[in-house]
Structure 1
Amino acid sequence: MFLEKIKTPGLSHLSYIIGSGGQAAVIDPRRDFEVYVERARAEGLEITHIFETHRNEDLLSGSPILADLTGATVHHGPNPAGNVAFANTTREGDCFELGQLKIEVLETPGHTDDHLAFVIHDSEYSEGPVGVFTGDALFVGDVGRTDFYPERKEEVAGLLFDSLQKLCRLGDQAIIYPAHGAGSVCGSGMADREFSTIGHERRNNPRLRISDRDEFIKAKVAEHHYQPPYFRLMERLNLEGADAAPRIMRPRRLGLDDLRESGADHLVDVREPLAYAAGHMPGAMCLPVGMIPAFAGWFLSEGDRIALIASEEDQLAQAMAHLVRIGLDNVVGGYVGVVPAAAQGKAMRSIPMIGTKEIARR
């Protein structure tokens, strides 16, 4: 069995490629999908299946694009919110074979109505479940949020409790493969660990240790999570299917004068705050590259024309990747090297810097 975790920084998204006997499946692929094709090719595997644990709210699915490229079939759970245009509906008890592996479907609603878990059976290692792709139902140290259906908050919290009990019945030996790690907005207390099992979570996960259904519901209903406006965009596009991203992954390079005349709705300066304070273009938004996944969706909207300002090429590429993954595609170009432009006498702005002693004095 081949199994590899693909991490997406910023969003703390985890996707997977699993294979055996020349076949492979990808679980919850991100929009910039090339990594899955490259890994499958390196292992001599053909991607034949794509499994979605649920309709994501925080990032765009790469499933329709990857399916078009590889001919693989996308499998998604029953979705009362609407038809998933690019996927076949799969249900509890369905099984898929990949060489010596069997992938069994469990319906695990609660986080979302369409949520599925995919159980790994490998006859070479064990008669019981070897592992389970838990999506956003069960994380390392936490469980999924249940606030996406405010008019049904007690009901969906109860559904998640039932789903977690179903996962626990797979056995303590089963390794869990969640769709997010620490730092994701899809939970509130995820542990910063790479590995866990059903048994470890059953004994140590605060929410999973609650054995009373009513107590669990009360605890989940009391939680508070933020929902950035872009979540609505993700929900819609993950039903319709997002376009491929190769063009926007390589932004057009702009000069400083081009940047001013680009017609962009937003100038987004992705450099570090100290660099921004030292010199920046008038009207530019300070949004350091590492903060884009968490905050861009609060300030930028679908269709907004965006121009980027970065200190180096790698930083520009990283900013583009972050934006592409949350559907903010309308990037007119990017400029690299604001500080040299300031030295050439271009119109700039700066922010005076003060120390902590001065802050205390004021």
Structure 2
Amino acid sequence: MFVERIKTEGLAQLSYLIGDGSEAAVIDPRRDCEIYARKARERGCRITHIFETHRNEDLISGAPILAAMTGAAVHHGPHAAGEVAYADIVGEGDSFSFGNLRLKVLETPGHTDDSLSFAIYDDNYGDEAVGVFSGDALFVGDVGRTDFYPERAEEVAGKLFDSLQKIIALGDQANLYPAHGAGSVCGDKMADRDFSTLGYERRNNPMLQIDQREKFVQAKLDEHHNQPPYFRVMERLNLEGASPVSPSMVPPALDVPEFEAVADKAVLVDVRGIAAFLGAHIPGSLALPVDMIAAFAGWYLQEDDALVLIADGVTQAEAAARNLARIGYDDIHGYLNTAMPGWAAAGKAFLSVPVIDAGEVRERVSEQPEGWTLLDVRDRGEVSDGIVAGAETIYVGKLQEKLDGLAKDRHYTVMCASGARATIAASVLLRAGFANVGVFLGSMGAWCAAGGEVVKPS
């Protein structure tokens, strides 16, 4: 009997291969799903069932693709706001066996109406659950967000409270297997570890300390989560079923003339690290470092955009293409094989972004030079804890839609918590024709370390 966790970095998504003997099942597979078939073969197992805890908003499900690869049946919960074209519907009390491992279905709505959890039992020992796959209902250190049905906000928050009671009732001994870990957009207070038990969560998870339904509902209503536009695309594709992707996903390598031939018809996406982008980048390119694609590509890219990547090599280009495919961006025409040194060596124009430190920001805040704005692009929760005096605040994901409200003749220094999101935001401003843009490198972390004053936003 085994439970193997497969973690998708960037998305912080957790999926699972479980089984006993020659039969296995997969829970919440990602789109590039060859990994599950390979791991099953290594264990001498055949995948016979695929289970989805809910219709995902932040990634494309690999369930229909894996089903076509293996012949396994796909099982999904009821009330999915549409027909899940590739799945059979299962509900409360349904049970499936794989050798001595038994999986029992629990309906646990709240995060979404179709949310399921799956309790697992070892029929060779006792009647207690040995674990539970909780989907996005219960995380390590947090619980699921409940903001996908704003017109029913109180109702769905109450449903999540009830679902959590059902999960916790499985017993302190049960291991917890959530669908996401720290860094996921599906929660913002998860512990930075992927393992726990229901007993530990019952005693230590802050949201589980709220034992009154009304107080829990109010706590959920007081939360703020961002919803990138691509969530709607994911919801649609996870009803229809997405197409397979190539196992390698290596984009074509482009030399400088080939790159220039396609650049005018595509969005240029620079997937290098922030220091590389700040030092030298191609004019008009969007900064989206590989490890930030999952969180921010969906704010700036359209479903049908043609993309060309700027990467530091084939490994980085492939990782970027894989991360983009997991959230539905497939039309990648290639990557600049020479990166910036080759681009510059060909005599092509490039730009850099000025960076300043905490001392320079302190001087500017004190002197308030004419035409200068400190632009803080952190999210609302971070901003509510305090800002640098005088800073203007716009969340990085919403910057593009707020550009018309910013004067192009001003000098903007962009900041976030460290400088990473600020670099993305700076690239958005530069692409939109803002000429005088810089980045506060280190941002709020550097400001606080240098003893800078933090004030509450007005």
Q: Summarize deviations over 1:54-89 as a string: whole Å, max 9, x none.
A: 000000000000000100000000024000000000
Match of 1:33 in 2: 33
Match of 1:264 in 2: 265
Are positions 1:24 and 2:24 aligned together? yes
CA distance in 2, matches of 1:343, 1:261: 17
Match of 2:442 in 1: none
Match of 2:11 in 1: 11
Change in 2 beyond 3 A, CA 1:147/1:354? closer
CA distance in 2, matches of 1:80, 1:43: 33
Indicate if the aligned counterparts of 1:74 and 1:86 stay in contact, CA closer than 8 A.
yes
Match of 2:122 in 1: 122
Percent of residue pairs identical? 58
Indicate if the aligned counterparts of 1:264 and 1:307 stay in contact, CA closer than 8 A.
no
For 1:348, the aligned partner's letter is A
For 2:40, the aligned partner's letter is A
Give ranges in structure 2 of 5+ residues lacking alignment.
Answer: 365-458
SS at match of 2:195: coil
Match of 1:321 in 2: 322
1:282 deviation in Å? 2.0
CA distance in 2, matches of 1:236, 1:198: 33
SS at match of 1:81: coil
Indicate if the aligned counterparts of 2:267 and 2:306 stay in contact, CA closer than 8 A.
yes
Indicate if the aligned counterparts of 2:32 and 2:247 stay in contact, CA closer than 8 A.
no
CA distance in 2, matches of 1:29, 1:349: 41
1:354 deviation in Å? 4.1
For 1:95, the aligned partner's letter is S
Are positions 1:62 and 2:62 aligned together? yes
Match of 1:281 in 2: 282
SS at match of 2:17: strand
SS at match of 2:134: strand
Which is worse superposed, 346-355 or 214-223? 346-355
Change in 2 beyond 3 A, CA 1:292/1:139? same
Report the count of equivalent residues. Answer: 362
CA distance in 2, matches of 1:220, 1:312: 44
Match of 1:236 in 2: 236
Cα RMSD (Å): 1.4
CA distance in 2, matches of 1:326, 1:352: 29
Q: Summarize deviations over 1:283-335 as a string: whole Å, max 9, x none.
A: 11121111111110000010100000101211111101110000011111112
SS at match of 2:196: coil
Indicate if the aligned counterparts of 1:316 and 1:336 stay in contact, CA closer than 8 A.
no
Give ranges in structure 1 of 5+ residues lacking alignment.
Answer: none
TM-score normalised by length of structure 2? 0.77
For 2:5, the aligned partner's letter is K
TM-score normalised by length of structure 1? 0.97
Write out aligned runs for 1:165-314 (5 A): 165-246=165-246, 249-262=249-262, 263-314=264-315
1:336 deviation in Å? 2.7
CA distance in 2, matches of 1:134, 1:15: 11
1:278 deviation in Å? 2.8
For 1:254, the aligned partner's letter is L
CA distance in 2, matches of 1:354, 1:49: 52
Change in 2 beyond 3 A, CA 1:14/1:352? closer
1:250 deviation in Å? 2.1
Indicate if the aligned counterparts of 1:146 and 1:153 stay in contact, CA closer than 8 A.
yes
Which is worse superposed, 338-347 or 65-74? 338-347
Indicate if the aligned counterparts of 2:256 and 2:338 stay in contact, CA closer than 8 A.
no
Indicate if the aligned counterparts of 1:264 and 1:332 stay in contact, CA closer than 8 A.
no
SS at match of 2:317: helix
SS at match of 2:254: coil
CA distance in 2, matches of 1:278, 1:190: 34
Change in 2 beyond 3 A, CA 1:334/1:358? same
Indicate if the aligned counterparts of 1:93 and 1:106 stay in contact, CA closer than 8 A.
yes
Match of 2:103 in 1: 103
Match of 2:398 in 1: none
1:125 deviation in Å? 4.0
CA distance in 2, matches of 1:80, 1:339: 46
The higher radius of gyration belongs to 2
Change in 2 beyond 3 A, CA 1:339/1:239? same
CA distance in 2, matches of 1:343, 1:170: 61
CA distance in 1, matches of 2:320, 2:307: 11
Q: Summarize deviations over 1:112-134 as a string: whole Å, max 9, x none.
A: 00000011011234321000000
Indicate if the aligned counterparts of 2:256 and 2:343 stay in contact, CA closer than 8 A.
no
